[in-house]
Amino acid sequence: MEMLETMGASSAAQGGAPRKPEYGRAKRANGQGAKATAGRGGVNVRLAKDAADIDAMIEMGRRLHAESRFRTLPLEIDRMQEVGRRGLKDGNPGLIVAERDGQMVGMAVVLLGEYYFAPVRTATVQLLYVLPEARGGAAAVKLLRALRRWSAENRAHDLHINVTTAIDTARTDRFLRRMGFKQTGGNYVLEGEG
């Protein structure tokens, strides 16, 4: 049975700070709540719930850092822990994890804000990462679907994904287009300037 991954109503809809949405549980045919289990592809996607999840996300972040173009920059654990604490407390940023067999295989961090030119909400994905050994499976698809739901629940007009890690950019582009995203520009950098 495929897990239903729905989110609760957000206080952002009433103009307040984003409320940490929660994923619902799958319902059995008899209407009884079922234990949340992995759906198709054996991957379960949920919001991070505690400090242990943040620690696991940081460990995965070490792998992301080592694989990305940012590997020459310092990795500040205290800074990442603070972002995690804020996400757990306020629900912004949204912290979403993908697990297979109880092990984290992917994660996403999404921030709700407003455009600088208008009081219109926008959700920006700060990080979307799937471990190399889990790529090509269900994890990335389920993380993107969860990001779309988080964005919708928080009444964001747009969901932005900026690809800046330089990890397999052509494959990432094809994947995002297949998932319904359209290219609206590009990312350009002068590394080491300043």
CA distance 80 to 37: 29
pLDDT digits (tens, 9 = 90+) for 151-174: 999 999 999 999 999 999 999 999
Cα distance between the two ends of the chain? 53
Classified by CATH at the fold level, domain 11-178 comes out as Aminopeptidase (3.40.630)
**Residue 84 neighbours by CB distance under 10 Å:** 22
Mean pLDDT of 173-180: 96
Q: What is the pLDDT of residues 82-104, one digit of tens each?
A: 999 999 999 999 999 999 999 99
Helices (H) and strands (E) in the chain, counts: 4, 5
Lowest pLDDT segment from 30-44, 106-120, 122-136, 177-191? 30-44
Q: Domain coordinates of the chain in residue numbers?
A: 11-178
Other beta carbons less than 10 A from residue 2's beta carbon: 10
